[in-house]
A and B are shown apart, each in its own frame.
Chain A
Amino acid sequence: MDIYVSNEVKYSVAEDNFGNRKLYGLIEETHDNFEVTVSGTAQTGLDIFEEYSAFPAAYSLLKVHTSLTAPGEKIREYHKNLELETCSGDYEKALRIMHTLHYTFIYDAGATKVHETAENALALGRGVCQDYAHIMLSLLRMEGIPARYVVGMMQGEGSSHAWAEALCNGYWYGFDPTNHKLVNDDYIRVSCGRDSGDCSVIRGSFYGCVTQKQTENVKVEERN
């Protein structure tokens, strides 16, 4: 894996409690541009379904709602209409959530804010992959199913993608409600957490009185 960080920043490496690795550092000099490029080869399709054996308390956190996934009136009503009690297990519940959400929620890149709550997005009825994933997490957690938010990449998309993972029968399964697909070897996982807040691709702050602009570019090519 190759990492390029502009401005000759000396960076450190850290890991958060969901196992995501991150680089961090500080630029003391004045600057008007900052850039990070990570490139490399990812191998997919080896173990699509991760078996879960850790101490149960470690995933308790993933059963708890965050401020972004906390259900409100809209989600509660939506949840009731799903009639999940007629499903035969957690996996089937997750499938039904993905299916219904895909066909009732409209993809619209301009409808929601960066950190929109699941409740607001559902009330709007439209949003992006992040909103699909948050709503799905909210519904899964209402069923007591540990669920996590995943940021990753797919071929043919110009930016990062997001989906949900649910712990069913001891395995983590990935569900992509935006594309109505079970996560397979087309997907490259980058990070995971309780919601999008844990999985930001980049985060930071600066002192200064200027307006800032941020761009993100993702390119995935298949190699055999």
Chain B
Amino acid sequence: MNELIKNAETINRLLARYGVKFGIYKNGEFKEQLFPFDPIPRIIKNGEYKFLEKGLKQRVNALNCFLSDIYGEKRLVRDGVIPEEFIYSAKGFLPPCDGVTPPKNIYSHISGIDLVQSKDNNWYILEDNLRVPSGASYPMIARELQRRSAPDAFSETGVVDNRNYADMLKEVMDYVNTGGINVILSPGRYNAAFFEHSYLAEKTGAVLTTGKEIVCENDNLYYIDYNEKKQRVGAVYRRISDEYLDPMTFYEESVIGIPHIFEAYKKGNVALLNAPGNGVADDKGIYYFVPKMIKYYLGEEAVLMNAPTYLPYYDNDMRYVLDNFDSLVIKDVAEAGGYGVVFGNSLTKEKKAEFISLLKSEPRRFIAQEVIDFYDLDILDTDGKRVPRKADLRAFVLSGSETKVWASGLTRFSRNPDSFIVNSSQGGGFKDTWVLSR
């Protein structure tokens, strides 16, 4: 461990050299900044990991069932488990996807499930990310560099080797591939996660493209290389959001998408990872219903708990929220990345009244949650002292021929001692996550 701490600075320097950066938007300006790495790992014991693994697989399986049902038969709505308007008014529900079945009926191939641990050692699901969850590359490269700097640390402690992520990802791409090459579709060099796109392409052997080299012809997708050689594309791990994917189906002004890619997908001629339309399942309003989904589709009780959540849409919950406003955190369901999060006790009197009237006029737009007392993790501050900070864990769950959890994850922490928000788009740092083999 001491070896790792000693090398922390070198590793951060190397990360900078490899271009491990995160782009953030602040006051409308794009800035690229380093994603600071902290050498003290989060350690998850084997038994605890087994429990998390079971819960994560169950959750992702249920979410995939939900997506297949919602864009198909809609049994869940018919049986009254979720009110109809929660589905159709969700921003992530994409009407063009209605009735479309993706290859092998998998919607969320790569799921990023955010968890936190409370002071009483319980794990809670914070949110599901089923659209284009990013972050796996950061612990991958950090581990790679650490193994080089202190190989003993890993053989002695019995840390599960996490170098299999690229293989897991490739397996999923190959499994859903409809015949052709695998590509990773990136919006380009200025995207916040461009490092990740290029790193994963390198590690999985998929072709990195920005879409300019891809055309759709006769309902098939082709990649045209620098020699003008045309190759059929069978799977696209796209790192472009749904709205920008196809200007002919979604946002017309998109210049980073591929015209007609959706038609090829709809006819079953190409796999898109993740499937378009997944946003309906990771909607913050739908989150509330996930334990009910697990019960409905799998007939099981949820292994992992949601953070206690209230839907102001229901009268009883609205009353509770108004009575306990100061102790709750309120989230705008349409926002992501730590934006649109309001802590009840942080508002001034006027702001609070203003917010409550907004809440009353648009109850569907918000959820309220109890503030979880995080179990803090130590980080090294600038002068080498250990200080506790809030942290969460993004677990990566991959769904191909079977659902697998990556025995690692992205542990993010807030560098600001008073902040609960750990999203990298808000300028936090990250740690390695060790899963112990015994």
| Interface residues, chain A, with chain B CB atoms under 8 Å away | 10, 12, 14, 16-17, 24, 26, 28, 55-57, 60-61, 63-64, 194, 203-205
Known contacts A57-B74, A61-B95, A64-B89; is A203 also within 8 Å of B263 by CB?
A: no
Q: Residue of B at shortest CB range from A204?
A: B248
Interface pair A26/B260, CB less than 8 Å apart = yes
User: Which of B6-14, B212-220, B278-286 contacts its partner?
Assistant: B212-220
With a cutoff of 8 Å between Cβ atoms, the chain A residues found around residue B95 in the complex are 17, 61, 194
With a cutoff of 8 Å between Cβ atoms, the chain A residues found around residue B89 in the complex are 64
Q: Is the interface of A mostly helix, strand, loop or mixed?
A: loop
Any chain A CB within 8 A of the CB of B266?
Answer: yes
Interface pair A60/B88, CB less than 8 Å apart = yes
With a cutoff of 8 Å between Cβ atoms, the chain B residues found around residue A57 in the complex are 73-74, 77-78
Any chain A CB within 8 A of the CB of B259?
Answer: yes
Whole-angstrom distance between the alpha carbons of A28 and B95 in the complex?
A: 30
Any chain A CB within 8 A of the CB of B99?
Answer: yes
Whole-angstrom distance between the alpha carbons of A14 and B267 in the complex?
A: 9
Known contacts A60-B88, A64-B88, A205-B247; is A10 also within 8 Å of B218 by CB?
A: yes
Interface pair A12/B263, CB less than 8 Å apart = yes
Whole-angstrom distance between the alpha carbons of A63 and B84 in the complex?
A: 11
Chain B interface bracket (under 10, 10 to 19, 20 to 34, 35 or more): 20 to 34
Give the distance to chain B from A114, nearest Cβ to Cβ, in Å.
12
Q: Which of A17, A56, A205 contacts B96 (CB 8 A)?
A: A17
Give the distance to chain B from A196, nearest Cβ to Cβ, in Å.
13
With a cutoff of 8 Å between Cβ atoms, the chain A residues found around residue B252 in the complex are 203, 205
Known contacts A26-B217, A203-B252, A204-B248; is A60 also within 8 Å of B260 by CB?
A: no
Interface pair B260/A61, CB less than 8 Å apart = no
Q: Supply 13 further A-B pairs (C-beta < 8 A) apart from A26-B217, A57-B73, A64-B89.
A: A14-B219, A14-B266, A14-B267, A16-B96, A24-B260, A55-B74, A56-B78, A60-B84, A61-B95, A63-B88, A194-B95, A203-B252, A205-B259
With a cutoff of 8 Å between Cβ atoms, the chain A residues found around residue B74 in the complex are 55, 57, 60
With a cutoff of 8 Å between Cβ atoms, the chain B residues found around residue A12 in the complex are 218-219, 260, 263
Q: Which of A17, A24, A61, A64 contacts B248 (CB 8 A)?
A: A24
Whole-angstrom distance between the alpha carbons of A64 and B91 in the complex?
A: 12
Interface bits B88-125 vs A (CB < 8 Å: 1, else 0) = 11000001101100000000000000000000000000
With a cutoff of 8 Å between Cβ atoms, the chain A residues found around residue B217 in the complex are 10, 26
Whole-angstrom distance between the alpha carbons of A63 and B266 in the complex?
A: 25
Q: Residue of B at shortest CB range from A28?
A: B215
Interface pair A14/B77, CB less than 8 Å apart = no
Give the distance to chain B from A131, nearest Cβ to Cβ, in Å.
20
Whole-angstrom distance between the alpha carbons of A19 and B234 in the complex?
A: 27
Known contacts A60-B84, A61-B95, A194-B95; is A26 also within 8 Å of B247 by CB?
A: no
Whole-angstrom distance between the alpha carbons of A138 and B98 in the complex?
A: 22
Whole-angstrom distance between the alpha carbons of A57 and B96 in the complex?
A: 15
In the complex, 29 of the A-B residue pairs with CB atoms within 8 angstroms, ordered by the A residue number, are A10-B217, A12-B218, A12-B219, A12-B260, A12-B263, A14-B219, A14-B266, A14-B267, A24-B260, A24-B263, A26-B216, A26-B259, A55-B73, A55-B74, A56-B78, A57-B77, A57-B78, A60-B77, A60-B88, A61-B88, A61-B95, A61-B98, A64-B85, A64-B89, A203-B252, A204-B248, A205-B247, A205-B252, A205-B259
Give the top 10 A-B pairs by smallest Cβ distance, nearest first. Answer: A57-B74, A64-B88, A14-B263, A17-B98, A12-B219, A17-B99, A205-B247, A24-B260, A61-B95, A60-B84
Interface residues of B in 216-260 (CB under 8 A from A): 216-219, 247-248, 252, 259-260
Whole-angstrom distance between the alpha carbons of A55 and B248 in the complex?
A: 28
Whole-angstrom distance between the alpha carbons of A64 and B78 in the complex?
A: 17
Interface bits B75-88 vs A (CB < 8 Å: 1, else 0) = 00110000011001
With a cutoff of 8 Å between Cβ atoms, the chain A residues found around residue B267 in the complex are 14
With a cutoff of 8 Å between Cβ atoms, the chain A residues found around residue B99 in the complex are 17
Output the residue of B74, B95, B216, B267 with the most chain A CB within 10 A.
B95
Interface bits B150-163 vs A (CB < 8 Å: 1, else 0) = 00000000000000
Q: Residue of A at shortest CB range from B88?
A: A64
Whole-angstrom distance between the alpha carbons of A17 and B101 in the complex?
A: 13
Give the distance to chain B from A65, nearest Cβ to Cβ, in Å.
9
Give the distance to chain B from A76, nearest Cβ to Cβ, in Å.
13
With a cutoff of 8 Å between Cβ atoms, the chain B residues found around residue A55 in the complex are 73-74
Interface residues of B in 179-222 (CB under 8 A from A): 215-219
Give the distance to chain B from A89, nearest Cβ to Cβ, in Å.
22
Interface pair A26/B215, CB less than 8 Å apart = yes
